[in-house]
Structure 1
């Protein structure tokens, strides 16, 4: 699932984001959502979030727990 809709993202969700410094390369960083920073219901480049480790970026993928 992509991260363009705010309703799909919840604090505590596992996501893959692209950091500002990685936008050219598209390198993804995995983490757990702490805060949702985008106020609008959707964003074409992904919803901006803060991870629990403090990194900020736009969600490119929401990770589903298939094992659970």
Structure 2
């Protein structure tokens, strides 16, 4: 997997992300860009405890993306 200058090299682990957390995510179609979206986590979707691109979540508005940073 190619990592670029926009990716967070150490995204938050699953244990740090809970429903209600304020986060910055990157959607799949925006990988490799700096087009992040801020939102509130509705559901944590990733089964594993970590992922190189970030834990996959669904935001309250329905957006699905990988958490790059906690906004809190």
TM-score range, shorter chain: 0.7 to 0.9
| Structure 2: distance between partners of 1:15 and 1:46 | 11
* Structure 1 segment 1-68 matched on structure 2, within 5 A: 3-64=11-72
TM-score normalised by the chain length of structure 1: 0.85
| Root-mean-square deviation (Å) | 1.2
- Please identify runs of 4+ aligned residues in structure 1 that moved more than 4 A: none
Unpaired runs of at least 5, structure 2: 1-9
- Report how many residues are paired: 63
TM-score normalised by the chain length of structure 2: 0.81
Unpaired runs of at least 5, structure 1: none
